[in-house]
Each structure stands twice: as structure tokens, then as C-alpha cells.
Amino acid sequence: MKIIPGPATLILGVDPGSRHTGYGLVGSAGGRLEMLAQGRFSPPAAWPLPRRLAHIHQGLSELLSGHRPAAVAVEDIFHGPNIRSALKLGHVRGVVLLAAAQAGAEVYEYAPRLVKSSVAGYGQAEKSQVARMVAELLNFRGDLAEDAADALAVALCHAGQSRLGGLGSAPRNSRRGGWRGLTEADLAALVNSK
Amino acid sequence: MKIIPGPATLILGVDPGSRHTGYGLVGSAGGRLEMLAQGRFSPPAAWPLPRRLAHIHQGLSELLSGHRPAAVAVEDIFHGPNIRSALKLGHVRGVVLLAAAQAGAEVYEYAPRLVKSSVAGYGQAEKSQVARMVAELLNFRGDLAEDAADALAVALCHAGQSRLGGLGSAPRNSRRGGWRGLTEADLAALVNSK
């Protein structure tokens, strides 16, 4: 019998991007982690920016109202190749945070290095390694877009940070709270091993 | 008798900022420009960013649904002091563009230099000069917050760009369309001189 996780134990990871915004919904039930949904929003590049933002906002809002996750996890980014791309990314990220706030979900932000280290074991892991570990940890077979893998990685990072069972308890702020990295083995022990 | 401008001739100028987001609603009726509303949204800095964004989005959405302007005008910014502040500004700007798209308003973006030159006569004008000219052009007496003045300036820039009477016609893209600066006298001739 499959246990359907309740909203309090659902985490929506989001990877905002100006071309693709990936998402991954992870739930914990009975100490197991399961992937409930993953994908990405890719509004046509030819659309004007406001319309692209509306597309992403609508998609995320539907996901949020449909599943009502208690937590939305995103990478905390404070650097980038240049001002222009930071500004562009900021637009999408703002819309993601807005959708979370409107849905009443708590937002958690994690440094990219922390996300990589909690999923792949070290902070400098390649994107492909992160994707492989995400698929393995969630027992996923099939195609996983890079953006969706990144979104699932930050959801898993939050699951590790909040130690799963603690998801229903008072939220800890990743920026303030002391963080102690999970090893690959720690995480593997937490996930559904079926 | 005061002529109330119809929605097709209303322009909402917005000046997004991480602390204050200014707005100014300008309407043209019978070849005259009038200011119909101005102000700013200043969500407490202590609030988490998602909640601040939701505050700005709600305020703008209410303005947009209440007045139904055909056009939303914002500054087109591609530079800033650093990546971090560009990203921060991007968050707010994304939410502004989203609100406009959701309300079905056309978004117009203008380079800061163009905004300054169309209102104050030259592109390097000081903020205080812009504010003074905005107040004068709109025949406004009273306190005008800097953010609201900047928002009204970009709305006036759009009014000049679209030559007022042309507001109801097919939107011209400020980035593509050829722009010919209005002089101070041009603009003054367009505004309500009562």
C-alpha cells in the first residue's frame, strides 16, 4: 500500500531560470522520501517577458494550490556572470517567491554549494552528478530534465536540513540556523529504499 | 467640468525598488495630461522578501483592476551598483511586470536617460530636477515622494512617446520603434495648463 504524504510533509523545490523553471515535489511519508511530481515551465522565448512571467506564475500557483506543500525550497543566489543576467534571473525568482507567499508556503533558501553537497556529497559536484544522485535517491528511472533535477536537489536539501520528521515543526531559517551537512549515506538512509 | 479619462488613455508608471515601489497614474483627456493617483508601496524591511513581494503585487493589482490602464510604463534597467542589488531589484520588477500582464495591460520600458530627457530636458538631470518638472508638468502642489515622482516621470515619458492621442492605437515598442525626444516645451504644451 502506498502512503500518500500529507501537505505538511510536502516540499516543492524550484529552480528559477529565464528559459526554464524546473520544479520537483517531494514528500515524506513514514520516514521515506518520494517524488510526487517533477517538470519544468518553459514559456516560449519569443513571448514578452511579462507574459513569460505570468506563465510561470500560473503554473506554480496551480501546483501549489493542488498539492499545498508546507515548504518551497529555492537556491539562494548572490552571484552570476553579470548584472544583466542577475536582473533577468531576479524577475523569475521574484515571481516564484510571490507564488509561494500567496499560497501560504514557507520559503527556504539554500546556497548552491550546500544543495550540491547535501545531494552529491560535495559542493563542487557537476550538474550531471547531481542529477544522477537525485534520480538514485528518489529511485527515479526515466528522463529527468536538468532544471527538474536541480529543483529536486534543493527540495532534498531542505528535507535533509529539516530532518524530514521535523518538517511539521517550527521552520528553521537556513541562513541563521547552524547547518551540519548530511552525508550521502545520511540521505540515502532517509529515502525510500524500495 | 472635469473630464474623467477613459481606461484607454490611462498610463500607470511604476518605479520598482527593494525598499519603496513608487507609482503614478496619468490620464489624458481632451489633449490634457492629468495625474489621477500617485504614491508608493513600502512593505516593512523586516518582512521576509516573499511577503514584501506579495504586498507590492497586491497593491499594484488593486490599482490595475480599479483603474484598468491600457499601459504600464517602467524604466528599463540593465545596470546597477552590483549583482546582488540587481538581483534584488529584479525580484520586485518581476512582480510588477507580472501584475501588469495579469491585468492585461501592455508593458512599455524606457531607458532611464530617455525618461529624464523627456521630462527634464536632458538625460543627466538630477532626481530633484525630475521631481520638480513632474510636479510642474502635472500642475501638482504638495508632497511628492521621490519614488512616486520617478514613476510619474516614466508615465509622462510614455505619454510623450505615444503622443497621447495615439495611446489607443497599436502599441509601439519603445525598444524597436524610432524614438525622437520631446523637448520640455513639447511636453509642457501637452499637459493640462489650467
Find the catalytic residue in A15, A34, A109, A150: A15
- CA dist A144 and A134 (Å) reads 9
Q: Is residue A1 assigned to a domain?
A: no
State residue B41 phi and psi, 5-degree precision.
Answer: -100, 125
Instruction: Give the predicted TM-score (pTM) of the model.
Output: 0.82
- CA dist A114 and A147 (Å) reads 17
Q: Which domain holds residue A108?
A: 7-190
Residue B111 contacts residue B153 (beta carbons within 8 Å): no
Q: Which residue has the higher pLDDT, A190 or B180?
A: A190
Residue A27 contacts residue A9 (beta carbons within 8 Å): yes
Q: Is residue B152 assigned to a domain?
A: yes
Taking each continuous run of H as one helix and of E as one strand, the counts in chain B are 6, 5
Question: What percent of chain B clears pLDDT 90, i.e. is strictly above it?
Answer: 59
pLDDT tens readout for residues A67-108 = 999 999 999 986 777 888 889 999 999 999 999 999 999 999
Whether A172 has a pLDDT exceeding 70, the answer reads no
Q: Is residue B14 assigned to a domain?
A: yes
The C-alpha of B94 sits at a distance from chain A's nearest C-alpha, in angstroms, of: 4
Whether A181 has a pLDDT exceeding 90, the answer reads no
State residue B58 phi and psi, 5-degree precision.
Answer: -65, -45
Which of B66, B30, B3, B26 lies closest to B159, judged by CA?
B26
Burial class, B31, CB count within 10 angstroms (exposed 0-12 / middle 13-18 / buried 19+): exposed
Stretch B45-57: mean pLDDT: 97
Q: Is residue A173 assigned to a domain?
A: yes
Each residue of A173-184: b (16+ CB within 10 Å) or e? Answer: ebeeeebeebeb
A121 touches chain B (CB under 8 A): no
pLDDT at residue number A113? 93
Total domains present in chain B: 1
CATH value at residue B176: 3.30.420.10
Nearest chain A residue to B80 by CA distance is A83
Q: Is residue A2 assigned to a domain?
A: no
Residues of chain B contacting A108 with CB distance shorter than 8 Å: none
Whether B20 has a pLDDT exceeding 60, the answer reads yes
Q: Is residue A99 assigned to a domain?
A: yes
pLDDT tens readout for residues B121-167 = 888 889 899 999 999 999 998 888 899 999 999 999 999 988 753 33
Residue A59 contacts residue A95 (beta carbons within 8 Å): no
Q: Is residue B22 assigned to a domain?
A: yes
Q: Is the ipTM of this complex over 0.85?
A: no
**Confidence tier at A143 by pLDDT (50, 70, 90):** confident
pLDDT at residue number A186? 44
Q: Is residue B1 assigned to a domain?
A: no
pLDDT at residue number A192? 36
